[in-house]
A and B are shown apart, each in its own frame.
Chain A
Amino acid sequence: MKLKTTLLASAIALAPMAAMAADLTIGFSQIGSESGWRAAETTVTRQEAERRGIDLKFADAQQKQENQIKAIRSFIAQGVDAILIAPVVATGWDEVLEEAKDAEIPVVLLDRTVDADESLYLTAVTSDLVHEGEVAGQWLVDEMNGEECRIVELQGTTGSSPAIDRKTGFEQGIEGHDNLEIVRSQTGDFTRAQGKVVMESFLKAEGGENICALYAHNDDMAVGAIQAIKEAGLKPGEDIRIVAIDAVPDAHKAIADGEMNATIELTPNMAGPALDALEAYLADGTEPEKWIQTESRLFTADDDNMAIFNEKKDLGY
């Protein structure tokens, strides 16, 4: 009888340790697959989890917050070790984050932040959109080296935060350099088709030979604009310098072909830093910073773009 009690007691005592040793289970509530970048983020998150031997439970919210909240509740019910969320909107998360906190499950936000108390989540891993624009502006400042340059800008969807921040960042980047001037700025809705249409109108309104550089808020618009420039009989990358943001595979290909000059990476690897922070926190309670900023890396013709293209093309972009 006594032996039995001892066994039982030690089993109870050992149980949490056994759980610790077992693989981590992490729930990931993804927004959906509205863009190539989003699909790549999902692929990279799965790869990162697999590499670390983490059991990743994936839930696709199909652009709906209620689906995300449902997914998070089900993760809590399943007793996962941590939750990753790429929030579709900024508001309305307090209640469900509170529930996760009560269940002592750490939550990490990916790619976007939320309007909720900081204590409700462990950390947020995002890129700095303003910084991305700054890097683009700085690149052009260095490239022109004091020469006169009339710039046209293809903005993202009017009113969206990437469009606002990337515009602000670029303006900060070229501030104080009077040789650089943005002469036209219009929205291309982040799409190839609109990028091409708006570039066509820029080329006519300003005259192709009077435009020295194009700054596009994403690579897709730049790829569309490259076609418009070619159809106007000019050489993209030479006659008109092109810098854009995102570093999608097609942009690397365009740089390799000499039709584009630079792109700044919005890394799809948000999960890597997030999982690093989570593993450290779960192992010995190390509190990470509330905001982990991902690197905004600049790619130019100096990089081996074909190799990067081949590496990236299967990520789902």
Chain B
Amino acid sequence: MTSQTIGPRPSVMRRILPQLVILAVALALNVAVFPEFFEIDFRNGRLFGNLIDVLNRGAPVALLCIGMTLVIATKGIDLSVGAVMAIAGAVAASVVVDGHGWGTALLAALAAGGLCGLWNGLLVAVLRIQPIVATLVLMVAGRGIAQLVTEGKILTFDNPGLIHLGAGTVAGVPTPILIWLALGALVTFVVRKTALGMLIEAIGINERSSRLAGINSRVLLVCVYLVSGLCAALAGVIVAADIKGADANNAGLWLELDAILAVVIGGNSLLGGRFSIIASLIGALIIQSVNSVILLSGLPPEFNLVIKALLILGILVIQSPRIGNYIYLLKASGPQPEPDAPASRPTKEETAR
């Protein structure tokens, strides 16, 4: 109960509760197929365990879904993030191969990702092209651009600084985990401690009236696609650094769909409006936990997609409003006539004091 005082506010807790429950179930499934799932030891100067893998391997989708949540909150969608990852990875690799430092490479990759985001933003906000079509352009063309940068091969590098971003550790914790946690916290802080989050939600709910209310929706729209591009660039650098090479064909392939799925599992509506970045991040972890179940189960790979589909279907069904109503009605018809929320809240506050 102390988490009530020092942790997130009760309203945030209530918002992310379904996601936390699903995550707990997904992790429990992992324990079911592999009992030592939660064991973590310190090996070769780094934390070593399945839970660390889930956090570490979830990094690309977690980073993507930070930007994707903002884009979806404006009633948009960004299909190009996977391709932007490939471009950013290719740019970073080619910069270090040319003999520059890892800082330059990171900046160049972020610049490339930002440019891609800006392009999407201009197509959506200025030319008024529907987001799904506007970002499809880069989704299709982006991999071609990445291949031009790498000249069609896997561009390998051995710059220790750049590799550290993907495969290194800070105090035993893999760097990608720290990067996505930090970026998630930063973006959440910025959108929630300022009016920015609310302005983004206003655009998603009704862009026209938000503009009439004085919100510069055009600039904000360009900005959310820009952020999405930057997040994708960071994810692309991490993925390339992880394997010490930029693979233009495969880096980030289909990850845009995983990112959208993470946002949806996070309980955010594809029709825009209210959003929660924390819930999306938990969504990303849920997807990675499901992947982990598949890998640890030891079943033949022919089952991979079927298992994933069934688990995701289950998660989405549990979250559907119909089922939610049904559960609510079941509770309401139970022995306790009073609805849950008002009854439990005062007691929580009492214990907190």
Q: Report which A residues bind B (CB closer than 8 A).
A: 33-36, 39, 155, 158-159, 184-187, 189, 191-194, 196-198, 200-201, 204-205, 220, 223-224, 227, 231-233, 250, 316-317
Contacts and interface: CB of A to CB of B under 8 A. Distances in A.
Contacts of A200: 53, 57
Nearest to B301: A187
B167 interface: yes
B104 to A, nearest CB: 24
User: Interface size for chain B: under 10, 10 to 19, 20 to 34, or 35 or more residues?
Assistant: 20 to 34
Interface of B: 34, 43-44, 46, 48-50, 53, 57, 147, 152-154, 156, 167, 239, 242-245, 247, 249-251, 292, 295-296, 298, 300-302, 304
Nearest to A155: B301
Contacts, number: 80
Contacts of A194: 250
Contacts of B251: 193
A80 to B, nearest CB: 26
Contacts of A198: 295
B50 A232 contact: no
B249 A34 contact: yes
A186 B295 contact: yes
A232 B57 contact: no
A155 B161 CA distance: 32
A92 to B, nearest CB: 24
A159 B243 CA distance: 25
Nearest to A233: B44
A232 B34 contact: no
Nearest to B37: A204
B148 to A, nearest CB: 11
Contacts of B147: 33
Q: Which 3 A-B pairs have the closest CB atoms?
A: A233-B44, A187-B301, A201-B295
A94 to B, nearest CB: 31
Nearest to B57: A197
A196 B34 CA distance: 20
Contacts of A36: 152-154
Contacts of A232: 43-44, 48
Given A193-B247, A201-B292, 17 more contacts: A34-B249, A39-B152, A158-B301, A192-B247, A196-B242, A201-B296, A204-B49, A204-B50, A204-B296, A205-B296, A205-B298, A223-B243, A231-B44, A231-B167, A232-B43, A233-B43, A316-B152
Given A186-B295, A227-B167, A231-B167, A204 B53 contact: yes
Given A196-B243, A201-B292, A227-B243, A35 B249 contact: yes
A233 B43 CA distance: 7
A189 B152 CA distance: 18
A201 B52 CA distance: 11
A294 to B, nearest CB: 22
B295 A158 contact: no
A193 B251 CA distance: 8
A158 B302 contact: yes
A231 B152 contact: no
A121 to B, nearest CB: 28
Contacts of B292: 201
Contact of B243 (A34, A39, A193, A205): A193
A124 B34 CA distance: 48
A35 B300 CA distance: 26
Contacts of B43: 232-233
B243 A187 contact: no
B334 to A, nearest CB: 42
B249 to A, nearest CB: 6
25 contacts: A33-B152, A35-B249, A158-B302, A187-B304, A191-B247, A191-B250, A192-B245, A192-B247, A193-B239, A193-B243, A196-B242, A197-B295, A198-B295, A201-B50, A201-B296, A204-B50, A205-B295, A231-B44, A231-B46, A231-B167, A232-B44, A232-B48, A250-B154, A250-B156, A316-B152
